[in-house]
Structure 1
Amino acid sequence: MTTDTFPRQYARTQRFTVGAPRSFAVAPDGSRVVFLRAKGGDDRANLLWTMDPTTGAERIAADPVALLGGGEESLSAAERARRERSREGSAGIVGYTLDGAGALAAFALSGRLFLADLTGERPTRELPAAGPLVDPRFSPDGSHVAYATVEGELRVTRTDGSGDRALATPERAGVTWGQAEFIAQEEMDRDRGHWWAPAGDRLLAARADDAPVQRWWIADPANPGSVPAEVAYPAAGTANAEVGLWLLGLDGSRTELTWDREAFPYLARVHWSEQELTLLVQARDQRSQRYLTVDQTTGATTTVLAESDPVWLDLFSGVPARTADGLLVRIADQDGARVLVAGERQLTDRRLHVRSVLSVGSTVLFTASGGTEETDPVPGWIGTFEIGLDGSGLTRLGAAGAVSAVRGGDVTVLVSADPAWSGARVEVLVDGEPLATVASYAETPLITARPEFVFAGERRIPTAVFLPTGYDRDRDGLLPVLMDPYGGPHGQRVVRSQNPHLTSQWFADQGFAVIVADGRGTPGRSPEWEKAIAFDFAGATLEDQVDALRALAGQYPLDLEKVAIRGWSYGGYLAALAVLRRPDVFHAAVSGAPVTDWRLYDTHYTERYLGHPDQRPEVYDANSLTADAAKLERPLMLVHGLADDNVVAAHTLRLSSALLAAGRPHTVLPLSGVTHMTPQEQVAENLLLLQVSFLKEQLGS
């Protein structure tokens, strides 16, 4: 039997996510908790479970192996793309929706539609449906399920198995109904394209037409006989898909929603409550946006709030939302703070940096990090809070950092993390008192991360430092340094948790002092901190890595003559940037899936930070890497998945060509069949081993 190692275990368990409970929901009356979890830490197939919150008794509501008769899942190309967009690496049941009573669950499995009775009175059954299908959604009364097909249709069927029919059918290739377009899934955190009316008599459906979007082709060079995959990719400065909204009645009626789509082309959020149908739409430059209400008879929209920001406006999870009396709940940047707002009332102040809204009832449940030194005594802390709609009764839930919660009736499911334990802990609270826990079947890691959290330098850059297990300074002396950042927007790495730091600890145990630094641009500090990178990726993010390194040299045994850096995606960009522009500081780099030319990355992300390339070509030139190829004088390994349709392999290939033309030696590691996620076990395991070998050789360690 092969002895397990951490790299093998890390890859096999999908970063220790396999077997961990996830995707929680609570019935509105609090009668049951619903969640997904595999049977063990080495089984990727999720089952659907329910729990009685008063007794803690669990029951399997749906088992994918039984439903498929022991057969393998068959995933369409569209479903694989959806999972890539959401970074979904598991199998089995990966998502579900509940009816209004929380008694029924609908889910897609192998492109087919299934219905689970969560009361246990009837077995899970398959509903006749056109397929392959994606994103089934219950009507509130549980009488119908709407779903989208890979052919672009939006269909609806009755839950008794009758009446399956199309509500909308694409007129031509490239049009889809009821699905989120690429840019919404990848960058807006909007993964759905149809919403039921509270009365269950009609749907709001997105119609996306990607005909204007340029086509790229992702080939598999290792298999030259295969047909390249066609991808409609909206690169910076090019056309996006055209997105509209329609009200589709079950009686066959159709009403198109109207707003100034030329000025506000991005459909960012939809919230349909008993009081209002509310839209959030953004301008292409994301410096202005509108909250709209809809006349559901005519489709006309009215602006109820206009927002603008000279830098950009962020999108947040859980908002907009409405209170029972119709107040608009949102997150806003006001007076230098990111705050929670209900109607005209600001509920929080600068002591908390609000991250997301989890639920809105008589109170608001939300996540936040400390917004000042007084409320953020250690880097990386995130908590869950509750506050009244009048701003009173601010309460923190849980003793540790609570990173998420869901609520139904008097039942709250609280997910907490802490560096002292592996994985997350899930508590079920009734009236605020813990009555049960949801067990995790995830494997226990073979190593334990021991991050030391510290603010570095004058800017108080949040960092986590890792030293080798058993390190003794008197005996072992100075250590070669490995900077291990992401360093970009939306990518907080310094968090008060154990599992996100396991890889950094493993690298430390190979003989490095590892530093993870969240400089300007990373989330969780303040609007000013996050927006300091506007039009300048290359400046602020790299400067903060250098400053953190030098500030920590006085506290830790760092050999500044042997400093390496590694990263993936934006972290890969930052790693390559470091050796190209600061060879005086960085002596070797491993750059995974880097964006090397921002003109090749997508519209919504890139233009938010760098502007439109036609209007600011000098910004794109200053922040891209290929023009710096002749500056390379340090060892650089470039790693890229050839099947990556997010950061396409052209990024690495163009930089490599520029390096070759400049006569600069470098290493390129192409990964055949690998996407941006690198889900393959052998690839993920060996990537860690190859990086250590490369870095040790180049640093002479």
Structure 2
Amino acid sequence: MNIFKSFTILVFFITALTSAQNKEITLEEIWDGTFRTERMDALHSMKNGQQYSVLNYEKGGTQIDIYNYKTLNKVNTLVKSSNLRDIESFSNYTFSDNETKILLATNVESIFRRSTLGKFYVYDTEMNLTTLVSEEKIQEPTFSPDGNKIAYGLNNNLFVKDLNSGETEQITFDGEKNKIINGITDWVYEEEFSFVRAFEWNATGNKIAFIRFDETNVPEFSMDVYGQQLYQTQTVFKYPKAGETNSDVSLHIYDLAKNKTQEVKLDKAYSDFYIPRIKWSNDANVLSAQYMNRHQNELDLWMINAETSSANLVLAETDNAYVDVTFNLTFLKDNSFIWTSEKDGWNHIYHYDKNGKLINQVTSGDWEVTDYYGYNPKTKRIFYQSTEDGSINRSIYSIDLNGKKKQRLTKNTGTNSASFSADFTYFINSFSSAINPPEYTLNNSKTGNLVKSIKDNDKLAQKLSHYKTSQKEFSTINVNGNDLNMWTIKPADFDENKTYPLFMYQYSGPGSQQVANRWNSANDYWYQHLAQQGYIVVCVDGRGTGFKGADFKKVTQNELGKYEVEDQIEAAKQLGKLSYIDENNIGIWGWSYGGFMSSNALFKGNDTFSMAIAVAPVTSWRFYDSIYTERYMTTPQENASGYDENSPINHVDKLKGDFLLIHGTGDDNVHVQNTMRMVEALIQADKQFEWMIYPDKNHGIYGGNTRLHLYKKMTNFIHDNLGDNRNLEKESKEEEVKIKG
């Protein structure tokens, strides 16, 4: 009796253990936060270089805690929302330059991708006082250098609040919705030049430079908002599609002492141009401004004297395709400057004097500088991130300003990202790889040596050890004469003697990268889920993607959707020849640009792909915005064939396989118009397909149960059209034929 009982318990324990190590990832777990990683929020290096601040969430609110770099111990709590009247919590914070005041963001609401409105408070750490900046929700509040004033945007105008007197001064007066915007970018600048605040304080805080957008003649786009009311409403905003009228931009400088605004006039005549960046130099009277032609293949860097109104063109870059705009311009004490450029075929760091004469090229080689972290004037060293350890990896390096004594600071191969202390004594490194969840460590900036571990995700790794997961395998595949980066996820019980359906994912947009040695995204867990269901999942970065040199990236110029699609089709054909892949069951999917690609791949590659899913796809570049589209395609008026020959709308007649089309009606980026026009084309071509519309959802298609519903929809479509269900039907029919025979 006792022996039997012991045996039963042992069997139960082994069974439970085996079961625990073979749990399957569910769709619900992917979207309910089960696999969420620990991270460090709103990290700010304090001016003393020895401490950093972090936004921490505590019961009942939020607080800003100060930590010592060397010990990692918390040394102080600067401010707690629970101690402040009228503030339940704050979602972000910004210090004044002298760190005596903190701007706290509350009740923040999203406008578009990067723009927000919110109520902001200034907390004075010395006086222990809190001041509301404005009764209304405002945009982009920014301290003056001395911390005594705040400039901000409200109702398309600029305002300056004096924190000492409490008085607010309006400095522009012609702002009007869908007409004039002062100091805040329009929709297309925000989306494609990646910034919202289009105003800057000078070094002494007596001048503000700002860009004015006159979007009066920009065509409007409207979106129905269905909401919960009896009648729908509309969102109407200015959206310049390819070839259409852009905002008329101008650069202005406001003098606070004179209460006067002056427009900047340049010697060079520009028409139909962009001002993608403005930045004051260390000289309080010298403003830098980058001007770019509409084709975006010419970029001029101007130095403008705010007192004399004279301007000097110090740098002019040209490219046969386009010139990338970055945030890397850095002025040194003597007003020489750091600049990054692809002019030698790879993105590298350059040092110029204040008049634009090249002093030296700091970095060089067949690899890319992927992030510029800064310059330490004491040691004369530059810190940067690069692909020197392989295009799918990121490592941190330092190098002398003269380009000598380069040193690798990170030790692990994967994706490293650094946040340096203000004096460059330390850096906090975030590291992850396909097999290592994110970990945060404190490192010495001189040697890169580990000082201390700050935070890891060992609990997540332990949790995942109980799940049946597969390793992401990295490799290259030679397609159309190029070695393309690829990752593969196979079922955990993969058997090369069996055949599996193949499901391909890609994005493929210019300069993008999906094959990267980093930790799982939510989609990676979905791919693991699909692998558990018996699929092989593959991702290939084709021509046009980034971090393999300018020639590789820019080969798709004027032909978006041609070479990238050819690469996906050819890669699928090669993979289909593998003995363990069912060449009759190959699917592909993508979102946004990836949806454009998956649609084209299914239509043009109808003898290769049997199904595709397109989420929020561009279906014709004629429908997309001017800055992004024309950067790669010029205008439809100049390049009609490039637009139309690669538009999936014009290839619907080739559809043979199963097609699922998904879009949100509130997508301000890739408008649902793209899907509607595709649907109409499919109907008129008498092609059957499936589609799903998510009411009022934007380009991200999320909120509540939306993401879970979306991925259930896609997963079921894959099962029905690519997976075991289809194979079972085939086997059943074959068996039926045998029986009848």
Normalising by structure 1, we get a TM-score of 0.88
1:25 maps onto 2:44 in alignment = yes
Provide the C-alpha distance between the structure 2 equivalents of 1:423 and 1:124, rounded to a whole number of angstroms. Answer: 38
Deviations 1:461-493 (Å, cap 9, x if unpaired)?
01111112333334xx12110101111124311
**Aligned counterparts, 1:653-668, within 5 A:** 653-668=676-691
Provide the C-alpha distance between the structure 2 equivalents of 1:46 and 1:368, rounded to a whole number of angstroms. Answer: 35
Aligned match of 2:279: 271
| 1:128 and 1:161 in contact (8 A); partners too | no
**Aligned counterparts, 1:639-654, within 5 A:** 639-654=662-677
- Residues 441 and 462 of structure 1: is their aligned pair in 2 closer, same or farther, counting only changes over 3 Å? closer
Aligned match of 2:159: 155
Aligned match of 1:571: 594
Which stretch of the first structure deviates more once superposed, 596-605 or 444-453? 444-453
| 1:568 and 1:591 in contact (8 A); partners too | yes
Aligned match of 2:260: 253
| 1:38 and 1:441 in contact (8 A); partners too | no
**Aligned counterparts, 1:77-92, within 5 A:** none
| 1:26 and 1:102 in contact (8 A); partners too | no
Aligned match of 1:366: 384
Which stretch of the first structure deviates more once superposed, 423-432 or 608-617? 423-432
How much has 1:420 moved relative to structure 2? 2.3
Deviations 1:242-291 (Å, cap 9, x if unpaired)?
22222122221322222357346211122223144211111100111101
Aligned match of 1:685: 708
Q: In structure 1, what residue type is equivalent to 2:396?
A: T
1:238 maps onto 2:244 in alignment = yes
Structure number, greater radius of gyration: 2
- Residues 582 and 411 of structure 1: is their aligned pair in 2 closer, same or farther, counting only changes over 3 Å? same
How much has 1:407 moved relative to structure 2? 3.7
How much has 1:204 moved relative to structure 2? 1.3
Provide the C-alpha distance between the structure 1 equivalents of 2:85 and 2:632, rounded to a whole number of angstroms. Answer: 46
Deviations 1:347-368 (Å, cap 9, x if unpaired)?
1112321223222333222222
- Residues 520 and 14 of structure 1: is their aligned pair in 2 closer, same or farther, counting only changes over 3 Å? farther
Q: Give the alignment partner of residue 337 of structure 1, picking from 322, 329, 346.
A: 346
Provide the C-alpha distance between the structure 1 equivalents of 2:336 and 2:131, rounded to a whole number of angstroms. Answer: 40
- Residues 335 and 441 of structure 1: is their aligned pair in 2 closer, same or farther, counting only changes over 3 Å? closer
1:311 maps onto 2:317 in alignment = no
1:488 maps onto 2:509 in alignment = yes
- Residues 561 and 171 of structure 1: is their aligned pair in 2 closer, same or farther, counting only changes over 3 Å? closer
| 1:288 and 1:308 in contact (8 A); partners too | yes
Aligned match of 2:171: 167
How much has 1:601 moved relative to structure 2? 0.3
| 2:149 and 2:162 in contact (8 A); partners too | yes
Q: In structure 2, what residue type is equivalent to 1:52?
A: N
1:414 maps onto 2:411 in alignment = no
Which stretch of the first structure deviates more once superposed, 245-254 or 191-200? 245-254
| 2:587 and 2:611 in contact (8 A); partners too | yes
Q: Give the alignment partner of residue 113 of structure 1, picking from 117, 120, 128.
A: 120
**Aligned counterparts, 1:189-200, within 5 A:** 189-200=194-205
Provide the C-alpha distance between the structure 2 equivalents of 1:530 and 1:14, rounded to a whole number of angstroms. Answer: 37
Q: In structure 2, what residue type is equivalent to 1:363?
A: R
How much has 1:449 moved relative to structure 2? 6.2
Aligned match of 2:98: 101
How much has 1:37 moved relative to structure 2? 5.3
| 2:290 and 2:300 in contact (8 A); partners too | yes
Provide the C-alpha distance between the structure 2 equivalents of 1:116 and 1:426, rounded to a whole number of angstroms. Answer: 30
Q: In structure 2, what residue type is equivalent to 1:412?
A: F
Q: Give the alignment partner of residue 7 of structure 1, picking from 23, 27, 32.
A: 27
- Residues 102 and 510 of structure 1: is their aligned pair in 2 closer, same or farther, counting only changes over 3 Å? farther
Q: Give the alignment partner of residue 210 of structure 1, picking from 204, 209, 215.
A: 215
1:541 is paired with a residue whose SS is: helix
Q: In structure 1, what residue type is equivalent to 2:684?
A: A
Aligned match of 2:10: none
1:279 is paired with a residue whose SS is: strand
Q: Give the alignment partner of residue 299 of structure 1, picking from 303, 309, 315.
A: 309
How much has 1:436 moved relative to structure 2? 4.3
- Residues 271 and 171 of structure 1: is their aligned pair in 2 closer, same or farther, counting only changes over 3 Å? closer
- Residues 434 and 491 of structure 1: is their aligned pair in 2 closer, same or farther, counting only changes over 3 Å? same
How much has 1:421 moved relative to structure 2? 1.9
**Aligned counterparts, 1:520-531, within 5 A:** 520-531=543-554
Q: Between Structure 1 and Structure 2, how many residues are aligned?
A: 663
Provide the C-alpha distance between the structure 2 equivalents of 1:284 and 1:312, rounded to a whole number of angstroms. Answer: 10
Provide the C-alpha distance between the structure 2 equivalents of 1:37 and 1:602, rounded to a whole number of angstroms. Answer: 38
Provide the C-alpha distance between the structure 2 equivalents of 1:575 and 1:328, rounded to a whole number of angstroms. Answer: 43
Q: Give the alignment partner of residue 427 of structure 1, picking from 417, 432, 442.
A: 442
**Aligned counterparts, 1:486-525, within 5 A:** 486-500=507-521, 501-525=524-548
2:282 is paired with a residue whose SS is: coil
- Residues 673 and 36 of structure 1: is their aligned pair in 2 closer, same or farther, counting only changes over 3 Å? farther
Q: Give the alignment partner of residue 622 of structure 2, picking from 591, 599, 612.
A: 599
- Residues 46 and 654 of structure 1: is their aligned pair in 2 closer, same or farther, counting only changes over 3 Å? farther
**Aligned counterparts, 1:37-48, within 5 A:** 38=57, 48=64
RMSD across aligned positions (CA): 2.8
How much has 1:29 moved relative to structure 2? 2.7
Provide the C-alpha distance between the structure 2 equivalents of 1:381 and 1:240, rounded to a whole number of angstroms. Answer: 38
1:219 maps onto 2:229 in alignment = no
Provide the C-alpha distance between the structure 2 equivalents of 1:579 and 1:22, rounded to a whole number of angstroms. Answer: 41
- Residues 263 and 307 of structure 1: is their aligned pair in 2 closer, same or farther, counting only changes over 3 Å? farther
Which stretch of the first structure deviates more once superposed, 275-284 or 534-543? 275-284
Q: Give the alignment partner of residue 397 of structure 1, picking from 409, 426, 434.
A: 409
| 1:479 and 1:511 in contact (8 A); partners too | yes
Identity %: 22
**Aligned counterparts, 1:169-188, within 5 A:** 169-173=173-177, 174-188=179-193
Provide the C-alpha distance between the structure 2 equivalents of 1:124 and 1:509, rounded to a whole number of angstroms. Answer: 56
Can you give the 5+ residue segments of structure 1 that lack an aligned partner in the other structure?
A: 74-91
Provide the C-alpha distance between the structure 2 equivalents of 1:536 and 1:430, rounded to a whole number of angstroms. Answer: 44
Higher relative contact order (CA 8 A, sep 6+): 1
Aligned match of 1:349: 364
**Aligned counterparts, 1:553-572, within 5 A:** 557-572=580-595
| 2:142 and 2:152 in contact (8 A); partners too | yes
Aligned match of 2:20: none
1:561 is paired with a residue whose SS is: strand
1:352 is paired with a residue whose SS is: coil
Which stretch of the first structure deviates more once superposed, 232-241 or 137-146? 137-146
| 1:53 and 1:436 in contact (8 A); partners too | no
Aligned match of 2:295: 285
How much has 1:207 moved relative to structure 2? 1.6
How much has 1:302 moved relative to structure 2? 1.7
Provide the C-alpha distance between the structure 2 equivalents of 1:8 and 1:331, rounded to a whole number of angstroms. Answer: 44
Aligned match of 2:114: none
Q: In structure 2, what residue type is equivalent to 1:112?
A: K
- Residues 49 and 187 of structure 1: is their aligned pair in 2 closer, same or farther, counting only changes over 3 Å? farther
Which stretch of the first structure deviates more once superposed, 157-166 or 507-516? 157-166
- Residues 172 and 693 of structure 1: is their aligned pair in 2 closer, same or farther, counting only changes over 3 Å? closer
Provide the C-alpha distance between the structure 2 equivalents of 1:507 and 1:122, rounded to a whole number of angstroms. Answer: 57
Q: In structure 2, what residue type is equivalent to 1:25?
A: H
Deviations 1:491-537 (Å, cap 9, x if unpaired)?
31111111233333233223211111111111111101110111112
| 1:20 and 1:38 in contact (8 A); partners too | no
- Residues 8 and 528 of structure 1: is their aligned pair in 2 closer, same or farther, counting only changes over 3 Å? same
1:623 is paired with a residue whose SS is: coil
Provide the C-alpha distance between the structure 1 equivalents of 2:717 and 2:694, rounded to a whole number of angstroms. Answer: 17
Provide the C-alpha distance between the structure 1 equivalents of 2:698 and 2:341, rounded to a whole number of angstroms. Answer: 35
2:252 is paired with a residue whose SS is: strand
Normalising by structure 2, we get a TM-score of 0.83
